[in-house]
Amino acid sequence: MSRIGNWPISIPDGVTVNITDNNIVEVKGPKGELRQPVNPAIEVKSQDGVLTLERKSELKKYKSLHGLYRALVNNMIIGVTEGFKITLELVGVGFKAQNNGQLLELALGHSHGIFFEIPKEIKIETVTERGKNPRIILESNDKQLVGQVAAKIRSLRKPEPYKGKGVKYEGEILRRKAGKVASAE
């Protein structure tokens, strides 16, 4: 059983944490601010630059919520100090990506281009270098949002198992399949 919920969260310098009466945690830092409502069964306390979360019951449901909200609050603090970055790689002949502001234009081997609107909370950059696959770099202070947008872009053309063509995360290892083998008759 995980005991992640019991771990204290240290608040770095330059980050302010405010806990409202209706159990909403607000975190402000150099990279922005985030808000997260917390279940009333979980109590958030701040003392001497350390956040602790305590559950009011030992039921299994509340134990899982305890670990969940501790992880969410910790990710908020990491997000407003360091931020989160996901890089996607386009593998395939003729696959291209370019952005105009928050509009991402993709050429993924379909008969038409794909236009994808990126939320304003995410900073997007497309990199095309000669001899390398085009890359899409997504940066934000919200881990959930940047992960969701990256997964949505990847779902437009998932990597296939034979040649590996498609949109994949940078560093992702794909399981490859062998192609057809001609019979020796």
- Where in the sequence is the domain holding 123, given as residue range(s)? 84-169
> Is position 93 within any domain?
yes
DSSP state of 39: -
CA distances from 121 to 27, 78, 82, 102, 173 (A): 16, 16, 15, 10, 29
Two tokens, residue 19: 């806990």
**End-to-end alpha-carbon separation of the chain, Å?**
57
DSSP structure string for 47-99: ETTEEEEEES--SHHHHHHHHHHHHHHHHHHHHHHT-EEEEEEEESTT-EEEE
Q: What would you report as the CA-atom Rg of the chain, rounded to the nearest whole angstrom?
A: 21
* pTM for this predicted structure: 0.86
- In this structure, are residues 78 and 72 in contact, taking their beta carbons and an 8 Å threshold? no
Nearest CA-CA partner of 162 in 176, 149, 174, 151: 176
Q: What does the pLDDT look like over 88-122, one tens digit per residue?
A: 999 989 899 999 999 999 999 889 999 999 999 99
> Is position 185 within any domain?
no
Count other C-beta atoms under 10 Å from residue 56's C-beta: 12
> Is position 72 within any domain?
yes
pLDDT value for 174: 87
If one counts the domains in the chain, the total is: 2
Report CA torsion sign: 72, 78, 82, 85: negative
Q: What is the mean pLDDT of the chain?
A: 90
CATH number at residue 73: 3.90.930.12
Same domain, 54 and 121: no
Domain edge (last residue) among 63, 81, 99: 81
In the predicted model, is pLDDT for residue 5 greater than 90? no
Same domain, 77 and 92: no
In the predicted model, is pLDDT for residue 175 greater than 50? yes
Same domain, 53 and 123: no
> Is position 175 within any domain?
no
